Structure 1
Amino acid sequence: MASKADRQKTTGRTRHSDHESFLRYRGFLWLKIAFAASFLAILIYGFNHVEPRPNGGSAYGYIMGTIGAGLILWLTMLGARKRTITPGRWSLKAWTSAHVYLGLALIVIATLHTGFQFGWNVHTLAYALMMFVIISGIFGITAYSLVPQELSANRGETTQVQMLDNLRMLDRQIHDAAQPLNHDEAEMVQYSLNDDPFAGGLIARLSGHYPKCGTKKALDLIRSAPGRESGYGNDALDQVETLLERKRSSLSRIRKHLRLKALLEVWLYIHVPLTFALISALFVHIFAVFFYW
């Protein structure tokens, strides 16, 4: 049976591992491996005196191409790996860390494989698709590193469901508070009550900009209504204005929440299709190389 000290030591390691990000996994282990592999590839390329300019058709090019193709196929397995939960050396955190840093090393390996020879052909297409996949992946890494903290800070102690419930409650309060208003004033309030606060599609969600916001329009109309600038007493309209301001603040918070969530998700709609296109181009590239060899 393990001693108390051993249990505390093990628990400490587990706790440290749980809070360690995939980018820092085991002291940037995979960053060091990726850097060493890239440096070695550059070193061999630079000191290659047998072939003045190694390219995809040289011995060095075939080796780099084989390594690069193997890496690409292995990197695409992360999606399947996410469906399996295992601890230890090949935990999901370790796999993701390797995915990120070896994916970046692929820039060096694939570029040296080309011998810096590009053209309007399937070989350059495969290289270009690979670069687009990597760039979209970098965006994803940045999003997953920064956005969750901002999401948590914006949401506070409430959930998305609770924020939407609060919005519906405000609508009911605005509706009740608007009952004493005259016809023209009630029409102004209807811009907020009849509005779809999240209309505008993906562009609006990603930008957080809703130029046709009914709540903003209702507030502007009420504040510019005749006599409002002089501050005449209208308790019902004052209460409606206060509730509309609270609704606009709540909407701003929810829209920011949805924008941050969209940033976490939208890159996958680019990254995944590009990855499939890359695999297709890669197989065509390999077939073309060996067919015309």
Structure 2
Amino acid sequence: MHEGFLVYANSKYLKWAVALSVASIAAYIFYEPIDEHNGGTVLGYILGTVGVLLIFWLTWLGIRKRQYGAHFRLTGWVSAHVYLGLSLIVVATLHTGFQFDWNLHTLAYALMIIVIVSGIFGIYAYARFPRLVSENRRGVSMDDLLTQIGDLDRECRQLAISLPDEVSSLILKSCEETIIGGSIFRILSGKASNCPSDAAFTQLRTLISTVDQEHALSTRKLLVLTGKKCGLLGTVRRDIQLKALMDIWLRVHVPVTIALLVALTVHIISVFYYW
């Protein structure tokens, strides 16, 4: 779908966005304010009005597009949302006259940039990550992956029963203390530092040359099984990481959009109050 909205209707909304940006830049260049460019000039008010209308309209589109089932209609909403949203960078920046300070309009501008950047990341995420998820799983479902890990744990436990404590303790710790998921930072990293299963695999490689001959074959089998488990754990963690990355941008995009609307409303009220 990402390719569809990027070129929807012969890139109609891209052309609109470019036209709006070029018109805004031309107006900024040729308009001569009495003092200097800022949001309080005639052009500043015009660009500010255009920017506010765009923001509220695009927010409405973000809600409205979820109510349409037809592919072409949904693609059109998304295309407008993306391209006209990007044009806001030009319109809003020229509205400020490149004047920023510790004030409300700068806060609104910063929130707008965060919304746009998070939206850009969202486009990238939905364009790239679904394919990576498919490649990572190689046609195996998450339930099947977890089932395979559970089966390996049971097989490892059975083999470890008759082995020395130094080996069986590694397997027991691997089976009971391995964690999938965890904190948001751990999930987004896709890695698990100090993973008991990784530690067991590393130590088994060392122990395999020191165990008694009668335990060597079982220890070697444990090494192979633990290696398979570590590979499956890596696949599962990568899957969770990719899905989290596809989801987290919305957890920024939506709340910051709400904050932006509040900041804009207060900004507009204050402008009319002090006018």
Q: TM-score, normalised by structure 1?
A: 0.87
Shift of 1:77: 2.4
For the residues of structure 2 that align with 1:58 and 1:49, how far apart are their CA atoms? 10
Aligned to 2:247: 265
More helix by share: 2
Pairing 1:1-293 to 2, within 5 Å after superposition: 20-49=3-32, 51=34, 53-87=36-70, 91-225=73-207, 227-228=209-210, 234-293=216-275
- Select between 271-280 and 194-203 the one with higher mean Cα deviation: 194-203
Cα deviation, residue 120, structure 1? 1.4
Amino acid across the alignment from 2:144: Q
Contact 1:171 1:193 in 2 (8 A): yes
1:114 CA displacement = 1.1
**Superimposed CA distance per residue, residues 8-56 of structure 1 (whole angstroms, 9 cap, x where no aligned partner):** xxxxxxxxxx794322222322111101110011111111146564421
Question: Hey, what's the Cα distance between the residues in 1 that align with 2:3 and 2:9?
Answer: 8
Give the C-alpha shift of residue 189 in structure 1.
0.9
Structure 1 range deviating more: 277-286 or 226-235:
226-235
2:19 partner amino acid: A
Using the alignment, how far apart are the partners of 1:62 and 1:19 within structure 2?
35
Q: What is the aligned-residue RMSD (CA, Å)?
A: 2.2
**Is the contact made by 1:61 and 1:114 (CA closer than 8 Å) also made in structure 2?**
yes
Other structure's SS at 1:224 match: helix
Whether the 8 Å contact between 1:191 and 1:217 is mirrored in structure 2 is no
Instruction: Measure the CA separation in 1 of the matches of 2:35 and 2:8.
Output: 39
Tell me the amino acid that sits aligned with residue 285 of structure 1.
Answer: H
Contiguous gaps of at least 5 residues in structure 1: 1-17
Q: CA deviation at 1:237?
A: 0.9
CA distance in 2, matches of 1:204, 1:109: 39
Alignment check: 8 A CA contact 2:121 2:249 kept: yes
Q: Output one character per residue of 1:155-180: Cα deviation in whole Å (capped at 9) or x when no partner.
A: 12112222112211221221222222
Structure 2 residue identity aligned to 1:72: I
Partners of 1:55 and 1:114 within 8 A in 2: yes
**Compared CA separation, residues 118 and 175, structure 1 to 2 (3 A):** same
Which segment drifts farther, 143-152 or 174-183?
Answer: 174-183
> For the Cα contact (< 8 Å) 2:181–2:237, is it kept in 1?
no
Deviates more, 1:215-224 or 1:44-53: 44-53
Task: Point out the more displaced range, 182-191 or 231-240.
Answer: 231-240
Assess if the C-alpha contact under 8 Å between 2:178 and 2:197 holds in 1. Answer: no
CA–CA distance in 2 between the matches of 1:165 and 1:84? 38
Give the deviation of 1:285 after TM superposition: 0.5
Q: Cα offset for 1:256? A: 0.7
Give the letter aligned to residue 86 of structure 2. L
- Decide whether aligned partners of structure 1 residues 229 and 237 sit closer, same or farther in structure 2, where only a CA change above 3 A counts: closer
Whole-angstrom distance in 2 between the partners of 1:206 and 1:21: 28
The SS at the match of 1:77 is helix
Deviations 1:162-211 (A, max 9, x none): 21122112212212222221222211111210123315411111111211
Contact 1:81 1:92 in 2 (8 A): no
- TM-score (norm: length of structure 2): 0.92
Q: CA deviation at 1:230?
A: 10
Q: Which runs of 5+ in 2 are unaligned?
A: none
Q: Which moved more, 1:158-167 or 1:273-282?
A: 158-167
Tell me the CA shift for residue 133 of structure 1. 1.3
